[in-house]
Amino acid sequence: MIEFGHCTHVGLRREHNEDTYYADTDLGLWLVADGMGGHEHGEVASALARDTLVREVGKGVNLVRAIQLADTEIIRHSTRRSEVLPMGTTIAALRLADTAFEVAWVGDSRVYQWSANGLKQVSQDHSYVQDLVDQGMLTSEQARSHPHRNVVTQALGVTDPQALRVESVRGELKPGMQFLLCSDGLTEEVEDADIAAIVGRLDLTPQECVEHLILAALDGGGSDNITAILIRVSP
């Protein structure tokens, strides 16, 4: 059996919530999208990504291809506007089918996996600071406070389609596994160790865990929109 909890919050410093999400056990699809572009255009971009993935996955299209089609849809919509600034969105998605899982992403919205071995980040941020960490120029701790930590290097609707990297990971779905999908409004304010402590509270329902995560992000400052989905596979 699959249980999940979900929540999104505008945060304490933003007027609009440009995050969106989707959660559906029947389709076996969960996603978080963090829009960018201001003037409500981020909300449009993230909603277009969500709706395209739901439609295409429902047709049987694989996750990576569905995300590529979402990119095309956002660019098509963007070219109809008169504004110079592009609109875009990150995406982090999870697909569960039978005894397998697939994770795919673009940008810095994250997917974590929790098991008896603890919490691990499955996705890898497409961000300026992650590139510096990969090159050995920054530690992960330094990256957390870097002034350019919010700069993404890949996003739907913004990155040249020829250079867009939709990355994916597949694996075996095992009883007791949990998956956390979240926007950077959570990870900006709450460290992985604290996320792990909440997700590991098996005495709480997934919804209660998500609400604790949102509160922790708000307590940390709530500098951005915050979205989280926690999916739990029964042991």
Residues 139, 133: contact at Cβ < 8 Å?
yes
Q: What percent of the chain has pLDDT over 90?
A: 81
How far apart CA 163 and CA 147 sit, in angstroms, is: 25
Beta-carbon count within 10 A of 148 CB: 10
Beta-carbon count within 10 A of 141 CB: 9
Residue 203 has pLDDT above 70, yes or no: yes
Q: What is the pLDDT of residue 138?
A: 81
Q: What is the pLDDT of residue 79?
A: 82
Residue 69 has pLDDT above 60, yes or no: yes
109 contact partners, CB below 8 Å, separation of at least 6: 32, 33, 34, 90, 91, 92, 123, 181, 182, 183, 184
Burial of 162 (0-12, 13-18, 19+ CB in 10 A): exposed
Task: Report angle CA 226, 228, 233 to the nearest 5 degrees.
Answer: 175
Residue 39 has pLDDT above 60, yes or no: no
Residue 15 has pLDDT above 70, yes or no: yes
Residue 84 has pLDDT above 70, yes or no: no
Confidence class for position 233, pLDDT limits 50, 70, 90: very high
Helical residues (DSSP H) of the chain, grouped into ranges: 41-58, 63-78, 128-134, 140-145, 184-187, 192-199, 206-219
- Mean local confidence (pLDDT), 150-165: 93
Q: What is the pLDDT of residue 146?
A: 82
Burial of 163 (0-12, 13-18, 19+ CB in 10 A): exposed
Tokens of 122: 């499955």
Residue pLDDT, tens place only, 87-137? 999 999 999 998 999 999 999 999 999 998 999 999 999 988 888 878 888
**Its pTM surpasses 0.85:** yes
Residue 74 has pLDDT above 90, yes or no: yes
Q: Does domain 2-233 sit in CATH 3.30.470.20?
A: no
